[in-house]
A and B are shown apart, each in its own frame.
Chain A
């Protein structure tokens, strides 16, 4: 785009962000402060993810952007257009074809590979903030690996509800050391974090933090021996492609309680339909 550098940010800023990324990779799960820039998109709408993507994007990269698992949600469209405009990179909706995937709230169903990078948009990088709102105090707790408060919170959930009542943004231990927010992905996606071949980068623009999960890193969802972590999904099959193992969105179809379930990952669903899978409401693609 005329008057702006490749991928919007100037090279000094990209270098600063890349340094933060390298440090984040060196200390898996640790939140690295960075001098987050004001972006032309609002805070809370992906400024952290956008800055990370802008800093790692090269002219040969192929970018995919998803929000809620879908390529066609309005904010995903807006961010994809932003990079098509400022970096002129190729974009795709096919998970397999992308080299960089920026995501909000989901991990693609398709297993990612070592040649891909997954960039998460993170609203609240501090997993302890509901228990300890002071970030200065939170930082100290991370330094001492003082995570008892989070275990107590899980225990209280079990005492009150019979199960852990966190259904998304479910806290994880990265590399057996740092308690980390996986961003608000459904707990269903948490197992995919563990030993993922792709590099996972997390950008929080408003909170000015970057963290990372390097490829093949151990990631354990917090639990207890007698209450092991269990991912959940709606007990249904996708109405379009019949998938029984994917995360489903619920769609209300009338005002008499009618509803149907469809894959949240639109590319995965389309791929299955192209391969001939059909659900109860779907026509083969």
Chain B
């Protein structure tokens, strides 16, 4: 048999990509899925892709989801690879989430509180029954509307802090850390950890957060508050010297209130975990808050024993773009290394055989 060299990689790649494009379109008899439909009707997917892609652009995220055929990690990857080519022209002022245009605000630690409990558009308390009538339904019945409550809605953590019951977060001076512009230096400051978590894989955050509830680094969490709504983003351009509003982003913020710490001389105070996510993303924000709290174990003098408390472990493995790339690179050819392994195993076999023969001869 003559050896047929594996040639023509270039044509094979082009043909494979053409096939993928054809498969993406699906049945031509069914109308094409428009990014606008994805943006409007698959909002949760768009928001997850924006979070993991680290870029707030609903239209671009919708396009990425269409291009990735609904593979959300692939879509986030597309968004990241685009984001990396954009210049970073400034840093926003800290977002003021107390001034959020609230759509949803719930607290699990107080029955009622200033501003009240606002359920907002939620799937909580729905029965998870497949709605067979949904395909036939065009417009749902109009949802009842209420007048927005003009009363301010202070954050629960701030209410507790005013009483001195919460351990204050040390103020972070200067420009915040940016993992995408500087290599992470261990141990990471909390700002960098939060950035890593904010763009981490939702499934990973969920699993890590869940593990703390099952005894691996538990911290007795209460959902102090979850709020969702639009927040304005302000920057101070160098040429102006004062803050201007450059637009709104919709965010979900979660503040967990956790077990208290104190000493003989220092009164006990609750600790907190913080979660922030683009769009409406209770699961993501809550998971992040649990993990953020777990990662403070070292700073708070707790024993670091569980995976979720190990900042190096959590932050090195939370990024699904890094993870998927490295896991999937195993399908690249490795035959050079495998060949060296085969030769090593054969050498060991030959050595064992020679050994056995020598023993038999004795």
B184 lies within 8 A of A123 (CB): no
Known A68-B333, A77-B9; judge A254-B1 contact (CB<8 A).
Answer: yes
Is A30 close to B, CB under 8 A? no
Give the contacts of B1-18 with A (CB-CB under 8 A).
1-3, 5-10, 12-13
Is A43 close to B, CB under 8 A? yes
A35: chain B residues at CB < 8 Å are 180-183
Is B148 close to A, CB under 8 A? no
Bound CA–CA A195/B116 (angstroms):
73
Bound CA–CA A33/B186 (angstroms):
11
Consensus secondary structure, chain B interface: helix
B184 lies within 8 A of A44 (CB): no
- Segment among A112-120, A158-166, A173-181 that sits at the interface with chain B: A158-166
Known A44-B325, A208-B184; judge A232-B340 contact (CB<8 A).
Answer: yes
Is A92 close to B, CB under 8 A? no
Nearest Cβ distance between residue A210 and chain B, in whole angstroms? Answer: 10
- Segment among B83-91, B129-137, B267-275 that sits at the interface with chain A: B83-91
Is B71 close to A, CB under 8 A? no
Is B191 close to A, CB under 8 A? no
B3: chain A residues at CB < 8 Å are 239-240, 251, 253, 260, 262, 281-282
Interface bits A136-175 vs B (CB < 8 Å: 1, else 0): 1001000000000000000000000111010111000000
B182 lies within 8 A of A206 (CB): no
B85 lies within 8 A of A186 (CB): no
- Segment among A21-29, A217-225, A242-250 that sits at the interface with chain B: A242-250
- Residue in B1, B187, B325, B341 with the greatest tally of chain A CB atoms within 10 Å: B325
B337 lies within 8 A of A168 (CB): yes
B340: chain A residues at CB < 8 Å are 167-168, 186-188, 232
Instruction: Give the number of chain A interface residues (Cβ < 8 Å).
Output: 69
A77 lies within 8 A of B10 (CB): yes
Bound CA–CA A169/B2 (angstroms):
32
Interface bits A9-42 vs B (CB < 8 Å: 1, else 0): 0100000000000000000000001111111101
Known A35-B180, A135-B312; judge A250-B339 contact (CB<8 A).
Answer: yes
A136: chain B residues at CB < 8 Å are 186-187, 312
When A and B form their complex, what is the total count of cross-chain residue pairs whose Cβ atoms lie within 8 Å?
A: 156
Is A69 close to B, CB under 8 A? yes
Is B286 close to A, CB under 8 A? no
Nearest Cβ distance between residue A251 and chain B, in whole angstroms? Answer: 6
Bound CA–CA A34/B342 (angstroms):
36
Bound CA–CA A282/B5 (angstroms):
11
Which residue from chain B places its CB closest to the CB of A124 in the assembled complex?
B326
A42 lies within 8 A of B329 (CB): yes
B336 lies within 8 A of A68 (CB): yes
Nearest Cβ distance between residue A7 and chain B, in whole angstroms? Answer: 12
- Residue in A34, A188, A206, A253 with the greatest tally of chain B CB atoms within 10 Å: A206
B81 lies within 8 A of A38 (CB): yes
- Segment among B105-113, B153-161, B217-225, B344-352 that sits at the interface with chain A: B344-352
A264 lies within 8 A of B336 (CB): yes
12 contacts between A and B (CB under 8 A): A38-B180, A40-B81, A44-B329, A45-B325, A72-B10, A73-B6, A165-B348, A168-B336, A208-B184, A234-B339, A247-B336, A250-B342
User: Closest 9 interchain pairs by CB?
Assistant: A43-B325, A44-B329, A42-B325, A33-B183, A44-B326, A167-B340, A38-B84, A186-B340, A40-B81
| Interface residue ranges, A against B (CB under 8 Å) | 4, 8, 10, 33-40, 42-45, 47, 67-70, 72-78, 81, 104-106, 123, 134-136, 139, 161-163, 165, 167-169, 184-188, 206, 208, 232-234, 239-240, 247-251, 253-254, 258, 260, 262, 264, 266, 281-282
